[in-house]
Chain A
């Protein structure tokens, strides 16, 4: 079986974002780009499954829609352990565009399991994975917190709104992963970094797709009023303030 891991390239999670060109574009100055945290975890899980010979997983491919500037992120995924990569050479303008490009690029590659993250930490869309399932006409499972292969069958646990479910689903399918899928992201070792240089990256040109959405402008969050401090000796006063001033309890 073959696994595909879709990775997006996002600003490091501690970045204080700023915008330029009348707040229509992200100021990329000084930004450190990383693999989206969820995608790092799904890559880790895919590699764990491949390491276990009983799963029958034979390869792990990463796919990314982005321009050549995101090559370092792809190389990082290869250094962590992916076997090869596909890059669709287009600007990821919206989720629909990205999902359509990824689906087109992999439709004849017969991946059994396609992993996407629950959200990418830039546009917080939570949509690419579910869209791929519809484009490729295959099943999808969302909010996946564990994935294993038992007797050739995928066993998944997912979070529902008010509990958890254990389920099985026949391949091929898309799993949209969240917390729990892997404990700690795997990091690249020296040997992996050396090997990554020679691993194949297939670059494909995008097909014509009209995005469905566009960002008109970004805004910074409203600044909150400065913190009011309460004397720790009379900490109980806080309850009164929350009740009578803030009126939230």
Chain B
């Protein structure tokens, strides 16, 4: 038996979400009295692979093949499901991001395994195997029973704390003989978001809405985000107007994020916006209207003009960072 954890790296370096997945997966392995096995694809060196052991993986499988350079859903699904069978995995764990969402459904069909998607807590019960997940775009949660021998979980990003241990995990290089003939997707061009903190990875997010009035007013907002080491986001009308890039749009039809801190400036707090940010640990709102619905979701609020409040926040952030 095992818990198989699909990790992700970017140019050979693991993303934080991989360590979250291992921390979470090794807890489940403990509950099931079995071992957590990390699976890594692509070119990752041994020093980097070893890091997975520090979060509780007892075995590390590394698969490298030219046929895995591009995310071709069915090629990856075949490789991962074959390994899941070989390792007698009872739980297969992925991130609930673009990659996890691309792979979990195919694995479900191949392994006849129920999927719990966007899970944010440890299973509430093992028998029946029951997970806790967001439904109705964060307006409710559900306890979902996965009635199958193998179960697939996609873990919501930034919802599970890292736990470090010193596990001396063994590394195994696998060559599953990836069949290149099934690769259907031909990538013509890749545009990486270089050097920028990804919104979905960020622990602090400063976000602006229509109350920011003009794209020219974003200077102090981005400065605040930089000072706090965070990323910037925006509401839908702001990206629709072209004030900010589409990648920043959060909400039901944009990105769903769960940072530790979400600062909403000039955002009214429509349900569709909250759908993307309601899992944030703290929400802070700055809005000139004391009755704006965003204050119902926020723990801290300032009723005031964004253009007057922002410079004060920037100044205070400079002072604390200066210390």
Residues of A within 8 A of B (CB): 11, 13-17, 19, 37-38, 94-96, 99, 118, 121-131, 133-135, 139-143, 155, 158-170, 173, 176, 179-180, 211-221, 224-225, 227-232, 234-243, 246, 248-249
User: A170, B147: Cβ atoms under 8 Å?
Assistant: no
* Closest chain A residue, CB of each to CB of B278: A221
Q: A229 contacts which chain B residues (CB < 8 A)?
A: 300-303
Q: Mark B136-151, 1 if CB is under 8 A from A, else 0.
A: 1111111111111000
Q: A139-B185, A168-B188, A179-B254 are in contact. Are A227 and B295 (CB under 8 A)?
A: yes
How far does the alpha carbon of A180 sit from the alpha carbon of B115 in the complex, in Å?
A: 27
Contacts A/B (CB < 8 Å), 13 sampled: A13-B137, A19-B140, A124-B134, A130-B102, A169-B184, A169-B186, A216-B144, A218-B141, A220-B140, A227-B298, A238-B313, A249-B204, A249-B261
* Closest chain B residue, CB of each to CB of A236: B316
A47 to chain B, nearest CB (A): 19
Q: Is B297 in the interface zone, CB < 8 Å from A?
A: yes
How far does the alpha carbon of A45 sit from the alpha carbon of B272 in the complex, in Å?
A: 22
Q: B139 contacts which chain A residues (CB < 8 A)?
A: 15-17, 221
A211 to chain B, nearest CB (A): 8
How far does the alpha carbon of A172 sit from the alpha carbon of B186 in the complex, in Å?
A: 14
User: B137, A213: Cβ atoms under 8 Å?
Assistant: no
* Closest chain B residue, CB of each to CB of A123: B135
How far does the alpha carbon of A239 sit from the alpha carbon of B36 in the complex, in Å?
A: 40
Residues of B in contact, count (CB < 8 Å): 99
Decide if the interface of chain B is mainly helix, strand, loop or mixed: mixed
Residues of B within 8 A of A (CB): 8, 10, 15, 70-74, 77, 96-99, 101-106, 108-110, 112-118, 130, 133-148, 154, 184-193, 198, 200, 204, 228, 246, 249, 252-254, 260-261, 270-272, 275, 278, 281-286, 295-305, 308-309, 312-313, 315-317, 319-320
Q: A176 contacts which chain B residues (CB < 8 A)?
A: 101-102
Q: A235 contacts which chain B residues (CB < 8 A)?
A: 286, 302, 304, 308-309, 312-313, 316
How far does the alpha carbon of A217 sit from the alpha carbon of B148 in the complex, in Å?
A: 18
